[in-house]
Amino acid sequence: MPNDASPLPRPSLPDLKRPGLEPVEPALLRFGASALAATWRVTHPTRADRYVLGELPPPVRLYYTAQDGWQAPLFFLPPTPGGRGEPVLLAHGLGGSWRDFAVDPAHNLAQTLREAGFAVYLFEHRGDRSALPPANAAPFTVDDVAVYDVDAALEAIRAHSGYARVLWLGHGLGAQLLYLRLALAPDDAVVAAVTLGGAVRFPVSASAARAAGRVATLLPSRWVLPTRRAQQLLSPFVTAGDELASPDTSGPAARTRLRYASGDLHGGVVRQVARWVATGQLTDATGRVDVVAALRPFPALVVEPDADPACPVGAAEPAAAPLEAGFRRLEGGWGHLDPLIGARAPTELHPLLTRFLVSRRERCW
């Protein structure tokens, strides 16, 4: 890497440990993991596959501070020896976490990019469990993440990596964050991007519009929906990826994703996403900005799965035209999580994404 700057300082937090006693939370986490694994074995006594693929060792954690006081981490994976270290930001989808890019310890997209010589920064934001709110924290929207958190994260990555600009790879909401960023706060900090399953147009039916409209109106912005715990508790009862709308994902990978990579949902974010579904288009929080119409030409590769209920066929493609981007539809039953953790992804998709980013790496200077 061109800059050996030390990691960004982590905020000082009170030490709640008592001498001689094991912290309660790690012990409870180990007990919970054992209970879930036992539940899997009891409910599926004849199955030979593992419950989960295993938990990853934690990467380096670098904190950034947004303009309005929110703090959140970037999880940093350095390039393999000899790599030049151009920075790639990986942004996860709704209800996920940074671990979506590294569910399988042996074959994952984050490791593939490291081996290609990139410095990988896994983006967490104010909606994730590791975020630290300011004392006067207010409800937030997707716009706040796209403008405040992304801006602070990009500045932190540029300072840490020594490169002037950053590459982006986003899945689901992580792709939509880039589109919102380009529409609401255009700059040259992001030099090129890959988007996976980032819907910008949504099929509108009368029933779906009514339901989404009720959510957008009635769900309190301050609520936090405990979807992380719910997914963890459900994990022993999932036998295959098609139960997560991801038919190419194995059972152990699907359970690992639920166990370790799921996240909670915040009311303000859900309300904005519900408005997209109700109106049929990706907009800002006010509903006045059509994000696709506001996009500028930008080097990108737009990838659309062919069996993703969160991004139906045709939902991501409209972004490719204003971006003047390449477009690739994945054929053969690719579901929501399959581009990240499906069985075919490491051999059929990840090399394509890596080649595109490699072709743009010189622009990071």
What are the tens digits of pLDDT across the range 149-161? 999 999 999 999 9
- pLDDT tens for 172-183 read 999 999 999 999
> Which has the higher per-residue pLDDT, 301 or 40?
301
Percent of the residues in the chain that have a pLDDT greater than 70, as a whole number: 92
Distance (Å, rounded) from C-alpha 238 to C-alpha 3?
A: 45
Joined together, the tokens standing for residue 63 give: 């904190």
> Which has the higher per-residue pLDDT, 58 or 3?
58
pLDDT at 46 over 90: no
> Which has the higher per-residue pLDDT, 29 or 200?
200
Other Cβ atoms less than 10 A from the Cβ of 359: the count is 12
> Which has the higher per-residue pLDDT, 188 or 359?
359
Distance (Å, rounded) from C-alpha 212 to C-alpha 310?
A: 14
- How high is the pLDDT of residue 42? 87
- How high is the pLDDT of residue 100? 97
Q: Nearest-5° angle of CA 81, CA 84, CA 88? A: 105
Mean pLDDT over the full length of the chain: 91
- pLDDT tens for 201-238 read 998 877 887 888 899 889 999 999 999 999 999 999 99
CB neighbour class for 52 (10 Å; exposed up to 12, middle 13-18, buried from 19): buried
Gyration radius of the chain over CA positions: 20
**CA-wise closest residue to 57 among 41, 77, 29:** 77
pLDDT at 6 over 50: no
Instruction: Tell me the domains of the chain and their CATH numbers.
Output: 24-364 (3.40.50.1820)
In the numeric block, the tokens 């953790």 are attached to 341
In 18-165, the DSSP E strands lie at 60-65, 71-77, 86-91, 118-123
The average pLDDT across 98-108 equals 94
